[in-house]
Amino acid sequence: MPAPTFEVVGDSTRSTLFVPQVLSKMDKEDRVRAVYLHACLRYVQRESMTNTSLRERFGIDPKNSATASRLIKEAMTANTVRLHDPDAAPKLRRYVPFWA
């Protein structure tokens, strides 16, 4: 499901919810926002986002882990998520929101 958007309008905040949509139908902006909000959710639960947690969230088959890696790379390029430990081995990488 695409992540909601949040906008500040004057002294108010507007949130927009979207209808369910399969991952393959989302545009890049929707995917990046969904990955970012997943990272935020994991962070407030005192956990980090991983390739595995993202696959589970989006229902990506474990043999398609490259898809999750591509989504994470898109979010990192957009500066919405970052590596928790830049020195970690690729299999042990964890990600947090950019502000964490």
Q: Per-block average pLDDT, block size 10, for the chain (100 residues)?
A: 86 90 88 94 96 93 92 97 94 94
State the chain's mean pLDDT as an integer.
92
Beta bridge partners of 98: none
> Helix (H, G, I), strand (E, B), or coil: what is residue 38?
helix
> Helix (H, G, I), strand (E, B), or coil: what is residue 29?
helix
pTM score, whole prediction: 0.86
- Please state which architecture CATH assigns to domain 26-97: Orthogonal Bundle (1.10)
Convert the pLDDT of each residue in 12-26 to its tens digit.
999 998 888 888 888
